Structure 1
Amino acid sequence: MTVKKSTRLYHMIHYMNEVHHFTLADLMAEFNISKSTALRDMRDLEDLGVPFYSESGQHGGYRIIRERGLTKIDLTPQELLALLFALGSISQLPTIPFNATYDGIYRKIISHSRVEQKEEINRFLGKFQYFNRSGQSTIPHFEKMVQASFSQQISMIHYHGRSLTSPYSVVGFLFKNNKWYAVVLDIQTNRVHLFSMEKIEGVELTDEVADTGGVTLENFTQYMNTGDLEIMVQCTERGLSDLSSYLWAEQKVINQDGRILFTSTIHPGDIPFIAKLLTRSGREVKVLSPPELVEAVKKELSFSLAQYQ
């Protein structure tokens, strides 16, 4: 059966990567081709940028140049553009926890792309521009927290001016409203806490290892302490969208007499923070209870009004 040349070259590349060292006779036998065809194919592969060199002598032949530590992936044109689109999105984040940069990854993709792929990439890059840049500063302990999550090492955390005495296991990370949060499990109480990554001031990894006991990013809210103060907020559809974008331990939406009511529970100490969040939505939300949250929202709004007096 006759095989298309493009298909043969594709399989030949995979064969070369698997065996590392080969001769023309090996190619002739593997692909059932003549010596002249094998030589032409090798020239074509060289033009395509396949990294190999020839060796002379009794045990000569060809050898693939292995780039240790690098992952080789064959991408279709659409997959390549999808990857670049994703990289363009994460380029807006000031911090990624892998000691790598968007520009560095992009340069490697360009350098390992064929000429026609580079032309396609250049056309793509001229069609998208990103302006939604996060205002969050660099997060110094991100990489160590990720290491703790991967290795399941128990961590001691210095958070927002306090050295926390409980040992923690890092479940994972959330990115919401342009901020990174660490989901951590208190080993002593088996309760989950959310830590703002920018407020973590120090991380010490211990030699002890502990899994997260079945806690995942999908179910962690079940392991959080619920607040003892219930709030109720009347809102529009847009207001509900705003509220739902925040991180609540639990929430419930009630449609009552044409009104949308949002309920949740909070800790009394969080009232000033919650009040600031709610004022961002303006007329789209109205706090119905508790009275202390209503007063806190009024206080926040008075600060804004005072700037125009």
Structure 2
Amino acid sequence: MKASRLLHLLLLLQTRQRITTTELAERLEVSRRTVLRDVDALAAAGVPVYAERGRNGGIVLLPGARLNASHLEPRELEALSVAGLDSVQLERLGLTAVRESAERKIAARLTAEHGSPNVPRLADLVLVESNAWLADSKANTDIADLASALRHRRRMRIQYRRSAEDEPSTLVVDPYGIVAKSGRWYLIADDEGTGRLFSVERLSAFEELDAPAALRSHQTLRSKWAALKERVETPGRVNVTVRLRESRLDLARRILGTRIHEVTGSENGWCEVVVRYPDIESVRQLLQFGDHIEILTPEAARKRVGQLARDLAERHSAP
């Protein structure tokens, strides 16, 4: 633990060169006395660091002193290799501490290479947050355990509840890996030779089997995910034309995404939008726009929405 703390102390000093004892104690979560002892230990080992007394004093690393922070530990390299995961996802994978360690080394290296620590890094100006708004993931499966099991490249027996089922089913799958998408985790695997996407939220249990995973040749997690993603996001064959209030057009773009095929016209605050669905039943998604939308064609879609609206009205009518 002390070796890790000394490295952290050196990285902080290489980034700032002069830091107060109080701030170092807070950053390292130790007492000021411990910081001074650590500084003495570093100085005794030949590191050009010393404590400077006085009003503007602190712990100082001599200019020109450089710690070689280019050699990252294997776990730190792994943490950086999954760039894009947010703090919650990193925590679930058990990579929070090593990610922070790697970032400290990188910060120290950048400061040594580019000079002034006052120049903001790109990481200080760009923040990537991959969680969806209002997302509340309630996965029963530990992601870190699942990721560790996937390293063995074995078949898995899983307990999985499909969206239309109340109870989970038992499946034997050949897994490629896991994907984080919009704050949710998905297991990508072949089920009887067919690529499938399993929401980890509905994965209640998994078990490694003795047989190796029968993965398709020349297929990787990335290629399988690309194919599944395209299948999910490809617009359907049913064109539904609607009248939509222009004030809800931006919201529609966020909700419907690539399902919006065309937007035309503008009259009295309304526009026409063509939405593509795989089937007529999918138009129930449009009910969330309430009185801001009207289905124009096809007639089957218009009738289905009318039926759904009547059912809702009867269910919510006063007793």
Report the TM-score when normalising by structure 1.
0.49
TM-score by length of 2: 0.48
